[in-house]
Amino acid sequence: MSDNIPEHSAAKVRLLGSYLKRFLSVIANDGFTRQIKIFDLFCGGGIYGSDGEGSPIVILREVEGLYFSRKARSQDSPKIDCHFSDLDATKVENLRNSVQLKNLHAPEFGNITFQCRDYREVVSELTNVLRPDRFVKNFIFIDPYGYKHIKANDIKNLLAKGNVEVLLFLPTQFMYRFDSNGTPEALKDFIEEIIDIKHWRENENVWNFVEQLKDSFRKNLGPSVFVDTFTIQKDPQTVFCLFFFSNHIKGFEKMLEAKWELDNEQGMGWHYSRSQLSSLFEKQRVHPLELKLREFLRGNHKTNGDIYKFTLASGFLPKHAGEVFENLQENGELVVTSKSGGKVRRKAFYLNYKTYRDDHDKVSFKLG
């Protein structure tokens, strides 16, 4: 990634690229998807400075990479159509020229379109023309210049199609500053779409603002939609955030994998140890995921499917829950039984998508 691209933008497109690599690979191997559509609704010019690569270039590189990796294994690829739009005609033309210059697209990959159009017009059209279709998958990247044109109901209406995933970038630092200094109409309108403004709490910092916004999205969109965030700290005073929305638990897991991969790069990744607690968790004496799982396990038995879904919805990966469960099992605190009531070998938790899909209640868990 070139130094010509701002650091927070570089982090943003790294996450986008990392997710698309996983997403495209999963979809291409699912056995029935015939077409993938990718929309970048604030595409920009594609290039920062001399060679810094923005979102449309990253998207096209992943599309190209998938096609040739499958071709090398004599595998067919679903057609991947890429749609790039921006209100700035100069940026759109610059992008078109860069794609041609870098030879980033070929007809065998799928179709490519460039449009100079207003976001509100495009998103309204997408809401009307996209159709539920198990043979087609849609991914929409929204990286606006601000947030005044973004409507939460747009996200809700798009997700209602069932075959749409959305990655939305919001300048949460600026939104938080406005929120803490008297909420302007644009921010008030945005918040009121997802929560009654009477229930919106004043936030002590931008991190709390992001959490409240994420929780509000979750409640507004309902239990069938998965929502998570990826925060990008430009400097100690500036934090931006990507919000990911999906109806599909497998796609959501792929996004979380991409998120945790980048968290590890930045030294903020998964750390779980009951014997060597980090300073971040010293006061509560237990890791946040363990706290969540202990609370979830109170009362009735929970199945492997229940734990798999709960873990992802909490923003963690199944392997993270596995580590917590290993520790609880070692301490004699976790009881694992098969659906027939028999014993299960140690460390056999079956927290994966395939077992979730095919054998949701293969084992059950209860705190001993």
Q: Which of 55-64, 164-173, 301-310 has the lowest mean pLDDT?
A: 164-173
Question: What value does the mean pLDDT take over residues 248-269?
Answer: 81
Comparison of pLDDT for 263 and 333, the residue scoring more: 333
pLDDT score of 240: 81
Q: pLDDT grade, residue 285 (50/70/90)?
A: low
Structure tokens given for 273: 């140890």
**187: closest CA among 138, 149, 235, 158?**
149
End-to-end CA distance of the chain: 50
Comparison of pLDDT for 139 and 273, the residue scoring more: 139
**164: closest CA among 144, 121, 190, 134?**
134
Q: Is the model's pLDDT at 323 over the cut of 70?
A: yes
Most confidently modeled range among 164-173, 235-244, 247-256: 247-256
Contact 266, 232 (CB under 8 A): no
Structure tokens given for 175: 């939104």
Q: Is the model's pLDDT at 350 over the cut of 90?
A: yes
Comparison of pLDDT for 249 and 270, the residue scoring more: 249
- Which fold, 7-265? Rossmann fold (3.40.50)
Domain with CATH 3.40.50.150 in the chain: 7-265
Question: What value does the mean pLDDT take over residues 28-54?
Answer: 90
At 168, the amino acid letter reads: L
Distance CA(13)–CA(8), nearest Å, equals 9
Could you read off the pLDDT of 178-192 as tens digits, one per residue? 655 555 677 778 888
Q: Is the model's pLDDT at 6 over the cut of 70?
A: no
**242: closest CA among 50, 1, 18?**
18
Structure tokens given for 90: 């100069």
pTM, 2 dp: 0.87
85 - beta bridge partners?
A: 115
Could you read off the pLDDT of 114-153 as tens digits, one per residue? 999 999 999 999 999 999 999 999 999 999 987 778 888 8
Q: pLDDT grade, residue 277 (50/70/90)?
A: very low
Q: Is the model's pLDDT at 280 over the cut of 50?
A: no
**243: closest CA among 277, 213, 222?**
213
